[in-house]
Chain A
Amino acid sequence: MQPSLLDGRVPARPLPSSPALLGTEVLRLDQVTKLFPGVRALYQVSFDLKRGEVHAVCGENGAGKSTLMKIVSGQYQPDGGSITYNGKIRRFANAREAERAGIAIIHQELNLIPHLSVAENIFLAREPTRGWFIDRAALRRNAQACLDRLGVDISPDALVKTLSVAQCQMVEIAKALSLNTEILIMDEPTSSLTEAETALLFQVIHDLKRNGVAVVYISHRLDEMAAIVDRVTVLRDGRYVSTQEFAATSVDDIVSRMVGRALDEKFPERTSVPTEETLLTVDNLNRAGVFQNVSFTLKRGEILGFSGLMGAGRTQVARAIFGADPLDSGSIHLGETQLSIKSPRDAIAHGIAYLSEDRKSHGLAVKMSVVQNLTLANMDAVSDRFGFIDFKAEAAAARTYIEMLSIRTPSAHQIAKLLSGGNQQKIVIGKWLFRQSRVLFFDEPTRGIDVGAKFAIYQLLDRLAAQGIGVVLISSELPEILGLTDRVAVFHEGRLQTVLTTRDTNQEEIMHYASGYNRPLAIGVAAQ
């Protein structure tokens, strides 16, 4: 038995760490069905989980992964089927009840309170008390014990708002462990982590496994699953497809099960070549403390990649060109005309658009309908000179883009908040297509989006370039950069290191520049 880490103040149920228990069933879902107005989110899905395993749940957006997990964690109640937990049939009325029973979920959007300390967050609403007062010493000690067990170097006194995303995730895990969690559900845990942070997370997950915790792992990043996943269950359109040992399958196999067809290519063939006509010229852009001396050109019909590590300034450069952030100095030319961009309005008026990586807080008016979001950036096209909206023209425009981008929505008047992430992203893209933009900055357009929808977005980028639009693709995924772009600009700590021709480079060379080295690699990449 592992020694109790909570020095007896917080009642600790012994962790199910006995080797005899490892591999025994902890949770079983039988024929679970969940209906929503207009959608059948899950239909007779079965799922089982063993102690000490990492069980991945895969599926495209809308396949029912989140719904399944919300049922397991008590946020939703199933309309049919049963849940057996620790040998008993259970029905959790809410998330709190499931949490008490030992099922914790860590959401993609982390749920910590920024202004409280790490310790206060871990023991939120369960603070150790002495009389009427919080026992601060015990709080701190208990929190430290939780963090030590994870082997992470985070001070329990640090305010959460000062932590990185990866650190916040560790705090969430620490919180889950302090609850004596038997089942830990992780939704897209690595989507905003660097590789080093991901490695640390995987180390922690390994330790959890050894202690008999069952981990449900939801991710779109199939390639990194090999490191930790034991079994994988695939869902498609709310139905159960298969459960396999991860070792007995392959990423390609999983993908084809997810989409219901074999996916021969991850990236579409480029159908166009960039013209020689320079569309956008950026010269010596500076913003103190953020980026320095950034210069590049973008040709008509070109896809230019922005590569670099997190915090290299790629997003900031794009936002500054778009007028969303101020610029200290530098010039921007569109064709021959020098632009003076003071706000996004100016940029949009010149046909420059920026699709934020954070579509929920920066891209979408979530309480407004699909059609209202689609036309928001181009109201002039659907209204007369007095500002009266032509609802027929607006509906027609919306229909066009809903069809073109195959946005899955019950109606054009559906509230954007209620759609899946991939569909929301398509709405944002549709908005800028309707604006007839000439230069489009895509900031991580495929983050958190399933494989099928990703491919559709890749195809779309290619079509846009073929129409003579200049596309800038900001992406942290090197295969995406290599598979789609014509040239790639590599950033490191606010500097544009170099612009490489994609055809003549490789992952290693890009990473080399992204890590801050200026000299070309000695190995003969130029010869390729």
Chain B
Amino acid sequence: MTDLSSPKAPADHLSAQELADHKARVMNDKKKDLIQKFAALASLLLLIVVFSATSDAFFSVSNGMTIGLQVTSIAYLGIAATCVIITGGIDLSVGSVLALSGVVAALAVKAGVPIPLGMLAGILVGGFCGFLNGVCVTQLKLPPFIATLGMMLVARGVALQITGARAVSGLGEAFGELGNGALFRVVRIGSDGFPDVIFPGIPYPVIIMVVLALGVSIMLSRTTLGRHIYAVGSNTEAARLSGVNVNRVTLFTYVLSGTCAGLTGCVLMSRLVTAQPNEGVMYELDAIASAVIGGTSLIGGVGSISGTVIGAFVIGILRNGLNMNGVSAFTQQIIIGLVILLTVWIDQLRNRR
């Protein structure tokens, strides 16, 4: 290899006192960084401790399962939203798309399509909506905010139109399996003839969440696609001039977001065994909030799935714990709003340094 270094005298040494000062400063910075990095995780643990103290029913296996289930839908959407936001985009349409996907799945099942195929159809519809979003952003060059705002209205309208704004029910027990079933559920028929739940099992939605989180996390951190997603968000022009297929990468994140919205729709509707065209209103904001609480930057280029999952749990646990303490839904909104402001402010402090 060629040595192209210019001969340069090494910088002379710092005095002992200076060196010590400097070391202390660096240590201090590192500590600060660590503390703030885990601010979200710490606040999550804090919430658990506080709610466990204030409510007897909070820290129990069954409530844990409830929280897990409640968090899943925020997490699915948040995980995909993280990818979109890292590229510098935003997806406001997921709440509507999940409703459309859910009712499409339900209508298909009603029309006699086998349940797995019906759900697949619902998820594909979600993916297609995401694809349209991506096309609007990459080909028509619409700002992501506008493109997905349009889709938000269109998808909701279509969902209401095809159902006549009525809930689709009477879908049969089997339709609820995905949302309500669990793996390793152990039930014994007790002496009194009633079933006794020995182990509630791991709900399918929770399993899907774990798989999705791991999958997307690996994609982001360990594959070229993930690296390209960060590059597009960090500097789109530099990424393009480095040969990154910016349009394809961007399109992918929107398709992923739509597909995850479709999945969320199917899981949610399955849990209720009813498809509501009005389901999922404002879910996009929960998704974005979970990403932001988890440290994803809305400017793009920065974010992680672990952060987003923590963010989803912060929101889910706040809701659940406040419910258990009898806090009204209105007050809950106020508190969650303040939490978002607080965490993002802490994140800003960290970045400003």
Contact = CB atoms under 8 A, between A and B. Distances in A.
Interface stretch (B22-30, B111-119, B273-281, B310-318): B22-30
Interface in B1-45: 1-9, 11-12, 14, 18, 21-22, 25-26, 29
A361 B6 CA distance: 27
A420 interface: no
7 contacts: A35-B18, A260-B9, A344-B241, A365-B239, A367-B230, A367-B301, A455-B6
Contact of B224 (A348, A367, A387): A387
Interface string A345-374: 100110000101000011111111000100
Interface stretch (B97-105, B159-167, B242-250, B334-342): B242-250
A46 B14 CA distance: 18
B227 A389 contact: yes
A377 B2 contact: no
Contacts of A500: none
A343 B245 CA distance: 9
Given A354-B241, A380-B224, A388-B223, A261 B7 contact: yes
Interface string B222-265: 11110110110111011111111100000000000000000000
A168 to B, nearest CB: 21
Interface in A232-291: 237-238, 259-261
Given A400-B1, A456-B6, A389 B223 contact: yes
Contacts of B234: 365-368
Interface residues of B, number: 40
A221 interface: no
Top 4 closest A-B pairs, CB basis?
A: A406-B5, A365-B234, A348-B243, A379-B224
Contacts of B224: 379-380, 383, 387, 389
B4 A452 contact: no
A463 interface: yes
Contacts of A35: 18, 21-22, 25
Interface string A455-471: 11001100100000000
Nearest to B26: A37
Contacts of A368: 230-231, 234, 301
Interface of B: 1-9, 11-12, 14, 18, 21-22, 25-26, 29, 222-225, 227-228, 230-231, 233-235, 237-245, 301-302
A404 B3 contact: yes
A343 B224 CA distance: 19
Given A376-B239, A388-B222, 18 more contacts: A37-B25, A37-B29, A238-B11, A259-B8, A345-B245, A348-B242, A349-B243, A356-B241, A363-B238, A363-B241, A367-B233, A368-B230, A372-B230, A376-B227, A376-B231, A377-B242, A377-B243, A404-B2
A361 B7 CA distance: 30
Contacts of B242: 344, 348, 365, 376-377, 431
A344 B240 CA distance: 7
A460 B1 CA distance: 12
A463 B245 contact: no
A10 interface: no
Given A349-B243, A453-B6, A40 B227 contact: no
B128 to A, nearest CB: 24
A294 interface: no
B232 to A, nearest CB: 9
A404 B12 CA distance: 23
Contacts of A37: 25-26, 29
Nearest to B22: A35
B235 A366 contact: yes
Contacts of A261: 7
Nearest to B233: A367
Contact of B222 (A345, A372, A389, A404): A389
Interface in A45-82: none
Nearest to B224: A379
B251 to A, nearest CB: 15
A178 to B, nearest CB: 30
A392 B228 CA distance: 19
Interface in A11-64: 35, 37-38, 40
A468 B233 CA distance: 35
A324 interface: yes
A403 interface: yes
B250 to A, nearest CB: 14
B200 to A, nearest CB: 36
A228 interface: no
Contact of A404 (B4, B25, B223): B4
A222 interface: no
Contacts of B14: 40
B30 to A, nearest CB: 9
Nearest to B19: A40
Given A368-B230, A383-B224, A406 B4 contact: yes
A495 B243 CA distance: 28
Contacts of B223: 383, 386-389
A405 B4 contact: yes
Given A344-B241, A356-B241, A361 B25 contact: no
Contacts of B243: 344-345, 348-349, 377
A259 B230 CA distance: 38
B225 to A, nearest CB: 6
Contacts of B18: 35, 40
